Structure 1
């Protein structure tokens, strides 16, 4: 039993082996790009919206409302970044119902890459909003002695994001495979439903945590900012 899609080779080009993680990652990216281009090809004010465009607008507005409820401000850049993360993760997890599809989020390399993108985005958003000096100053708040602890906390955030997403998706796939061998006609249906629910929840949690981390780095200190709320708790 393969525990991760990294172990499943799809095809090889010379010495280069393309495993299920790489192949399915590009498949999800192509699917999202193609569907978005197809839905928005007639995105004009003189064209009435169809049901697909309405569905896409509901998703985007829902993501925007969630971000605004956390950050207490409108930031289109954050919508583009965390919205893309959410759609990629949730699509990867929902495609689990397709026989033979191994979600790339069940690979630690994929979840580590997603977490790394958040770690890189935090200083980018922070420097863009506060300036270089203002962002670096957050690492010595409330005093300079907190510098190593703030750095460790920043790195641990990325590790927790990667391991949490990887562990939940991989464990669900392993349990489904075990139950498939025990009762191949009943349990797979139940596990697929639970897998879909878990995939939605994990995508939501990942996107929310990424939003909180980025917002805490880019928002000015105050009683309503995510950083201040974390310190109060």
Structure 2
């Protein structure tokens, strides 16, 4: 049994084999872009929202509110990035209920790629928000002796994110394979329900952790005049 979509070759592009991981990743991306385009193509402020637009606005509002609770600098700074991560991972995991579809997040290469995007986004958001000097200064807090430990901690975040997402998705596939070999007529329904729940939870956890890491790298918002007067 092939648990990872990397092992399933769909076709060859010249001498390059194209695995199910790549194909399913593009399916998820096309699906997300296509649905977004169809829902928002006739978007007008003076027009009452329909059911699909209301559903999309509800999802965006929920993502924004969750990010707003985590980051102190406002949801608009990271909602596009963290929200996209959540939608991609959630859609990938939820599509496992479709027969023959293997979630690209069950591939270590996909989880590593997602983690690398987070590791790149962390310094970018930090530098854009507070400048290079303030971002680099965080590595020597509270003292210069903490520099190597802070650097190690920065990379360990990425390893933790990748292994957590991959491990949870892969463990779900292993458990499903074991249960299906025991009782193939009863457990598919149960595992589909469990897969929907765990897929949503893993997408939520990954996006929230990415938001927390990005928020920690961003500078504290400047105090207003009233806040300075209260503090003094």
Could you tell me which residue of structure 1 aligns to residue 60 of structure 2?
60
Could you tell me which residue of structure 2 aligns to residue 33 of structure 1?
33
SS of the counterpart of 1:10?
A: strand
Q: TM-score, normalised by structure 2?
A: 0.93
Asked if 1 retains the 8 angstrom alpha-carbon contact of 2:6 and 2:19, the reply is yes
How many residue pairs match? The answer is 222
Structure 1 residue 221, shift from structure 2 partner: 8.6
Could you tell me which residue of structure 1 aligns to residue 48 of structure 2?
48
Report the Cα distance in structure 1 between the residues aligned to 2:221 and 2:82, rounded to whole angstroms. 22
Could you tell me which residue of structure 2 aligns to residue 198 of structure 1?
198
Could you tell me which residue of structure 2 aligns to residue 3 of structure 1?
3
1:70 equivalent in alignment to 2:70: yes
Could you tell me which residue of structure 2 aligns to residue 127 of structure 1?
127
Asked if 1 retains the 8 angstrom alpha-carbon contact of 2:73 and 2:221, the reply is no
Structural mapping, 1:106-145, within 5 Å:
106-145=106-145
Report the Cα distance in structure 2 between the residues aligned to 1:41 and 1:194, rounded to whole angstroms. 34
Could you tell me which residue of structure 2 aligns to residue 103 of structure 1?
103
Q: TM-score, normalised by structure 1?
A: 0.93
Q: CA RMSD in A?
A: 1.2
Structure 1 residue 81, shift from structure 2 partner: 0.3
Asked if 1 retains the 8 angstrom alpha-carbon contact of 2:127 and 2:218, the reply is yes
Q: Label 1:49 to 1:221 Cα distance change in 2 as closer, same or farther (>3 A).
A: closer
Kindly provide the CA deviation profile for residues 170-224 of structure 1, in whole angstroms up to 9, marking residues without a partner as x: 11112112211211110111111111111011000000000000001003299xx
SS of the counterpart of 1:18?
A: strand
Report the Cα distance in structure 1 between the residues aligned to 2:181 and 2:75, rounded to whole angstroms. 48
Listed as ranges, the gaps of 5+ residues in structure 2 are 223-232
Listed as ranges, the gaps of 5+ residues in structure 1 are 223-233
Report the Cα distance in structure 2 between the residues aligned to 1:162 and 1:209, rounded to whole angstroms. 11
Asked if 1 retains the 8 angstrom alpha-carbon contact of 2:72 and 2:220, the reply is no
Kindly provide the CA deviation profile for residues 26-59 of structure 1, in whole angstroms up to 9, marking residues without a partner as x: 1100000000000001111122100100000000
Report the Cα distance in structure 1 between the residues aligned to 2:29 and 2:13, rounded to whole angstroms. 21
Could you tell me which residue of structure 2 aligns to residue 228 of structure 1?
none
Structure 1 residue 93, shift from structure 2 partner: 0.3
Kindly provide the CA deviation profile for residues 97-123 of structure 1, in whole angstroms up to 9, marking residues without a partner as x: 000000000000000000110000000
Report the Cα distance in structure 1 between the residues aligned to 2:192 and 2:84, rounded to whole angstroms. 24
Could you tell me which residue of structure 2 aligns to residue 231 of structure 1?
none
1:168 equivalent in alignment to 2:168: yes
Kindly provide the CA deviation profile for residues 12-33 of structure 1, in whole angstroms up to 9, marking residues without a partner as x: 1221111010000011000000
